[in-house]
Structure 1
């Protein structure tokens, strides 16, 4: 009541203050960015890198472009993980651009105007120019064409930004190469280091040891104290550096996978389609309208369909029906419209005419017909290609590498595979008008033209509604403290997504978790997220259980994780005391083994660079101590990663002297230089203030 009275009594002051703030905000906003309040820009900041803000208006389109490239590379429509990869790819690029840009300036690295010109139009251009302007089949490029494109394009308002962007990217890549070379050339390996590396990989040790395994001490017999945890934590603080903030959440999934009733409904639907399909007037149109998966109505080779369908369909004659049949997650229904034998690949030559520069397709086709007549009368196809073609293959007389089905645009492909060797064909495609000459047809195999229907087995609305109702009921009943208890009471399984980073595109058991992760980063530890999250096959309710900030994690945050290691540390102390007692008064390794009731384990030909001990896995401390010991001398107790050991060295086998020190140094320098490059960039990041707000946008 006191608060309400306060607000009522001061409503006038609050209203005046709010109006005053709005006016100031508008005026300041107008001064900064006409028509926008000053806080609007801060809401667009994806992050800041060493004082430079990254705005979503510039960042977003780069993410879209990166995502499009990933889709092209990996296929598909782009899932949450691919989106996260695209966002991370662009962010890392922004970090590199800012930090390396400042480093280039500090070091005085530049690309001169002449150097930039040579990289674009010179005889040895940038790989980027070759990529953009080269022939995709041969990798060769026409330098005169590049010069022409840049000369004309820089005058064109539409092309100029694209060409300037290419030049900027070339300069950036060149600076990166210079910086990389600078780092690599600063690395040096001495002859002594080369020799040590050689000896470490080739000198062998033979020894005997006695071991007391941690596994020999039952876990239940080890009582851990706070001092044990603190001691281990203090000695291993570097292990607990958290490079980025993470969240852990527990969740319950409510499945929306198809039920038996859903399966029966889809089966009934596909059976009805099968009846109608047999009498359809237009097979391909009927399939295109009714199929969930579109298969082009063209001749295809065996091996393009689901294996179960493929093997059956290609054994059927034209006019046959296949299905309905269930495989994978869908029902298939296929009509074999026609079959025939067709070349496996075709080798052709072509002359490409640019219709847009010739007054239209009709003019270009007339020109192609004229060239066809000239060839039929004995004119050289290669000479005409060199004179008239706008394709990079013109320098080779229009000759193209052999291609299989699916590698060319449909119009060009159909003409090449449907014709005969020696045919001249005029073909119009998205690239222009082609005069094609079929040079050679290679191989022969069966192809089929299919009317193809596929119906996915999906959940009904009834199934989805029932799952959503369960999830909503659970959300309304659950409290921050009784999440797991209530789930157990209702018979639901609680899953855990541990140490999820802000930009992560995946989480265990969740196929589309980005919104959930974003909300988890806006919640406090213990909060139940107040939303039902829809995944591809489930509804999810989640609760944040742990927040791990960036930096050195406190003991309480890692206590549960380090418990097995702390227990082994206590076991190590216990077993070391036992080993030390056995070593007292012992003259040799056999006496130690006898006191402990353990066998003596002989080990042959162990190298320093590969510290794998048979029967004890990888034991760095044990092997390192062996190579620093004298033969015949009984060691002290050694605390390893899996147990406590005592040993005696039988002897060492030294390798032949290093024959080629130069080659050894070169090999080591390559490895060291690569590590140095990564370390240099990491050092730049460590010394910079980087604020990452991506989780607010993606």
Structure 2
């Protein structure tokens, strides 16, 4: 009542507040309409003038990835590429008269020529086959109102994906049919592949010359720019971020707390009558497996075979976990087991329940003596062993899927007794018919209590405070470098080539935090050389604690267009340095005798045989194409000049060459050339369409 009285007394205030609120809504609506009127507010991008609108983008994300816990930025990247490519293909298909009719679409969705989209989305993970029953049910209920609205909407969007994929395939097929191999090209390919040579070489590693010996000048970088004009163009803006990472690691106190948590439960663990239940309730692990000594961690391998059964050992540290282990049992493990089985296949929970009933009935028939195992297996087993009475012969350990393997080697009954096991293939009725013991190796069955050793909240908070203080005291990239000189536990790392829509950040990977750092780097008000006012937090994805605190600074901005000299110095310094080192090594080589060169640089003489021009990789040294190209045009007995490679400087000498077996039938070479050329169409066609299109990409303003 007092509250109502106060409201009545000051009703004029309420009227003013309501008026202001309504005015705010009106103003928001006016601003919203004005923003929409200018055509940019909701436009994520354009493709040759066709807009990609944010509501359409959001709708696609909602339909394709409802309640998804996957990589949201990877998913959005897929949606963007789909929308861009669909619009590009729409233009091309209209010009060429390409389309996908209703009958063709039905065949791609439900018929005998299923689209790769359907094969991807409706593949049963257990069988690896498309779930046709599910497809048939969807087909029968589409448009009837019986399907869930979400599935109906999803199917409509998927139809668009299927049409896009089909039109893209038709377009690539048109391009492929226009490709042919002329006779002269087949003859050249025959010569390149057929001519083989053997050569000796020495390799002088790049680091033979210390970087301190090399003095780089502007002329060196200008020469690199001239030699690599194709690399000197930037289609989009790139930014470089330098950053300092504060890694959050457990302290000795944190480890002691975890040790205490394990210790407090050891007595209960030792006395537990139901080990499986105790372990389950205490977040441990237990398995049917009997481990051999070599299979165990070194820290417990001896102990597990010495302590009495029922003993508990620990706590002890195993990697990032604190553990205690209980010795449950030990026994001699068979080297191989002979068995037979009857399989009733099942792909889902309902089918498994039905298969279980069938197997139970078969088991009753066999155990009552009314039917023989082999006879039933021949008649009803849905496995390839059925015609052999279900006989699998002898199997070594770990050759079968885990539940089946466990039944044979660890939980198996006596020979002649039946057991029922469910696997990814269905429900099995298994009979062990023989065991072989050759090595008589003992195995041990174990149960574990496990606690991850993670930083406590106080540890996380303390390191966060350090990161905040560090960030506050160092507001420029230059200051970051100076600050870490006094802190050997810290270092400045570099993330180069960041783009406005990127979501991968250095070795810290993808995700929301990486995206937030990149968005900060591309903000209009982020000044070159400045450090972010925010400390960014990376979570440990499985244990959910703050694992890294990142203090980033904007190192450089590279605008679209031709690289400047300063940008080349930043981006390609290492390549120019290696080129200069190779030149310096070459200047020191005064002999053409391989042995003399090998002695001079203390390196061996190695040999390659049967090398041809078409090869791009040499075992042991990798993709040294400059070396392959050079020796391919040399004569027998000729020694090369120094060759600057990827991993060092080479000097080679050809000592044998075999000419090709020339044949007038060039069909195989023509087909090979066609396969290579046509194979590149699938990956390159869309790249070409995008390159010649007018694209604008504003995704970075939305997420």
TM bucket normalised to smaller? 0.5 to 0.7
Q: Which residue number corresponds to residue 320 of structure 1?
A: 311
Matches within 5 A, 1:488-567: 488-489=485-486, 492-501=490-499, 502-508=501-507, 513-522=514-523, 523-535=526-538, 536=540, 537-563=547-573
Q: Which residue number corresponds to residue 157 of structure 1?
A: 147
Would you say 1:239 and 2:231 are equivalent positions? Answer: yes
**Which residue of the other structure, out of 445, 452, 460, is the alignment partner of 2:448?**
452
Would you say 1:468 and 2:464 are equivalent positions? Answer: yes
| Secondary structure of the structure 1 residue equivalent to 2:506 | coil
Q: If the length of structure 1 is used for normalisation, what is the TM-score?
A: 0.68
Q: Which residue number corresponds to residue 676 of structure 1?
A: 681
What is the distance in 1 between the residues matched to 2:142 and 2:375?
Answer: 29
- Cα offset for 1:664? 0.9
- Are the structure 2 counterparts of residues 23 and 374 from structure 1 closer, same or farther at C-alpha, using a change threshold of 3 Å? same
What is the distance in 2 between the residues matched to 1:298 and 1:458?
Answer: 25
| Secondary structure of the structure 2 residue equivalent to 1:299 | coil
| Secondary structure of the structure 2 residue equivalent to 1:498 | strand
- Are the structure 2 counterparts of residues 669 and 267 from structure 1 closer, same or farther at C-alpha, using a change threshold of 3 Å? same
**Which residue of the other structure, out of 690, 695, 702, is the alignment partner of 1:690?**
695
Q: Which residue number corresponds to residue 100 of structure 2?
A: 111
Q: Which residue number corresponds to residue 61 of structure 2?
A: 60
Instruction: Note the aligned Cα RMSD (angstroms).
Output: 6.3
Contact 2:289/2:445 (8 A) holds in 1: yes
Q: Which residue number corresponds to residue 487 of structure 1?
A: 484
Equivalenced residues, count: 633
- Are the structure 2 counterparts of residues 406 and 326 from structure 1 closer, same or farther at C-alpha, using a change threshold of 3 Å? same
Contact 2:100/2:163 (8 A) holds in 1: yes
- Cα offset for 1:508? 3.6
Moved more, 166-175 or 474-483: 166-175
- Cα offset for 1:564? 6.2
Contact 1:424/1:435 (8 A) holds in 2: no
Would you say 1:665 and 2:675 are equivalent positions? Answer: no
- Are the structure 2 counterparts of residues 223 and 268 from structure 1 closer, same or farther at C-alpha, using a change threshold of 3 Å? closer
Contact 1:142/1:392 (8 A) holds in 2: no
- Cα offset for 1:22? 3.7
- Are the structure 2 counterparts of residues 310 and 147 from structure 1 closer, same or farther at C-alpha, using a change threshold of 3 Å? farther
What is the distance in 1 between the residues matched to 2:569 and 2:464?
Answer: 37
How far does the alpha carbon of each residue in 1:272-320 deviate from its partner, in whole angstroms, 9 at most, with x for none?
33234224565444433433xx53x563464899744785687577533
Q: Which residue number corresponds to residue 33 of structure 1?
A: none
| Secondary structure of the structure 2 residue equivalent to 1:658 | coil
**Which residue of the other structure, out of 343, 348, 362, is the alignment partner of 2:342?**
348
- Are the structure 2 counterparts of residues 140 and 488 from structure 1 closer, same or farther at C-alpha, using a change threshold of 3 Å? closer
Contact 1:323/1:333 (8 A) holds in 2: yes
Contact 2:342/2:383 (8 A) holds in 1: no
Q: Which residue number corresponds to residue 244 of structure 2?
A: 252
- Are the structure 2 counterparts of residues 114 and 273 from structure 1 closer, same or farther at C-alpha, using a change threshold of 3 Å? same
- Cα offset for 1:472? 1.4
Contact 1:247/1:498 (8 A) holds in 2: yes
- Cα offset for 1:405? 5.6
Contact 1:47/1:691 (8 A) holds in 2: yes
What is the distance in 2 between the residues matched to 1:647 and 1:320?
Answer: 66
What is the distance in 1 between the residues matched to 2:446 and 2:208?
Answer: 67
What is the distance in 1 between the residues matched to 2:193 and 2:272?
Answer: 74
Contact 1:48/1:690 (8 A) holds in 2: yes
What is the distance in 2 between the residues matched to 1:574 and 1:310?
Answer: 55
Matches within 5 A, 1:180-191: 180-191=172-183
Would you say 1:267 and 2:259 are equivalent positions? Answer: yes
What is the distance in 2 between the residues matched to 1:552 and 1:440?
Answer: 73
Contact 1:317/1:339 (8 A) holds in 2: no
Q: If the length of structure 2 is used for normalisation, what is the TM-score?
A: 0.67
Contact 1:187/1:672 (8 A) holds in 2: yes
- Cα offset for 1:150? 2.1
**Which residue of the other structure, out of 13, 23, 30, is the alignment partner of 1:24?**
30
| Secondary structure of the structure 2 residue equivalent to 1:482 | helix
- Cα offset for 1:189? 0.8
What is the distance in 2 between the residues matched to 1:228 and 1:373?
Answer: 86
Matches within 5 A, 1:51-200: 51-53=50-52, 55=54, 56-61=57-62, 64=65, 85-122=74-111, 125=114, 147=136, 150-152=139-141, 154-155=143-144, 156-158=146-148, 160-161=152-153, 169-200=161-192
Unaligned runs of 5+ in 1: 1-14, 30-36, 69-77, 583-588
- Are the structure 2 counterparts of residues 576 and 354 from structure 1 closer, same or farther at C-alpha, using a change threshold of 3 Å? closer
